[in-house]
Amino acid sequence: MCKFFRTFAADMRKIAVFIVCLFAFTCAHAETIILRTGARVIGEIVFQNEEVVIVRDAEGARSQYPRADIQEILAEDVVVSDSQVEVLTDEAEIKTPKKASILLELGGGAAVRPQEAFGGAFSVDLLAGTHHIKSRHLFVGGGIGYHGIFLGAEKYNFLPIQAAVRMPFTEKKHAPMFGVAVGYGIALSKTYLGGIYAGVDFGYRCQLNPKTAIALVAYAQFQQATVPVTTTLDGIDYTTNKGRNIVVSGLKLALYF
């Protein structure tokens, strides 16, 4: 009789363990994650924090998504145990989402010195900054560039040191954008001096993936230069510095990576 009860108790423990496992399995429902790009991901959330969400699909494969790239999570009844969180936190696959970004801009257009000369210009700018601010694809940073300006027989080359902001109006995959930059253009010649530099951008941006984007931008830039001017009076040469304001407008191709 005692042997019977011992066997019965052991079987009941196995059945209880099975029921608990079955209950835990049925409580973990599939989630639908809507990304800011419009894509939908269906699976079980196995880990999430303020920066990242890890999802396991029906085949058991895990995918990681930065919290900033997630627009909405449908359903809230996923059960995640403390042991799961501890194990996943130690795994190498959990990485901090990329927050830094490099911005490369290539531009060209028309240049004018009001009421004096007309010509062309080209520019290359390389900026580094943040990729996400408060869950937005907002670029804030600074860097350096090379700008060449041709006004008739005159040629100006500047090395602008600048701070810049680039902001899409929405977090959709395709969105209009706005940008500003301010700094100082260093003259690359001894025949003239540099001065204040400023730029304004309006364009259209396409988010290729959470870390990469491309944009076509219409821009306007202002560059100040100072040129020494010599005047001869009664056989004596007098040299004064004359300020020249140069305005450039055109198109730029911008790459975020």
As a whole number, mean pLDDT of residues 77-90 equals 41
Domains of the chain: which residue ranges? 2-90, 100-256
Which residue did the predictor score with more confidence, 20 or 136?
136
Do the bridges between strand 40-48 and strand 117-130 make them parallel or antiparallel, or are there none, so unpaired?
A: unpaired
Write the pLDDT tens digit of every residue in 28-61: 457 788 888 888 888 888 888 777 888 888 777 8
In 3D space, the residue among 212, 211, 173 whose CA is nearest the CA of residue 95 turns out to be 211
Pick the CATH number of 2-90 from 2.30.30.100, 2.40.50.180, 3.40.718.10, 3.40.50.10860: 2.30.30.100
Q: Distance between CA 27 and CA 13 in Å, rounded?
A: 21
* Under 8 Å between Cβ of 183 and 194: no
Region of poorest pLDDT, from 81-90, 100-109, 123-132, 200-209: 81-90
Q: Report the candidate in 179, 180, 249 with the shortest Cα–Cα distance to residue 215.
A: 179
- Which residues does residue 168 pair with via DSSP β-bridges, in sequence order? 177
pLDDT in tens, 204-236: 999 887 778 999 999 999 999 988 766 776 677
Mean pLDDT over residues 96-108, rounded? 81
Domain 100-256 has CATH 2.40.160.20: yes
pLDDT in tens, 108-123: 999 998 878 899 999 9
Task: Count CB-CB contacts under 10 A for residue 31.
Answer: 19
Residue 129 clears pLDDT 90, i.e. is over it: yes
Q: What is the pTM of this model?
A: 0.61
Tokens of 20: 């608990």
Residue 98, pLDDT score? 56
**Which amino acid is residue 37, in one-letter code?**
T
Question: Is the model's pLDDT at 86 over the cut of 80?
Answer: no
What pLDDT does 9 receive? Answer: 54
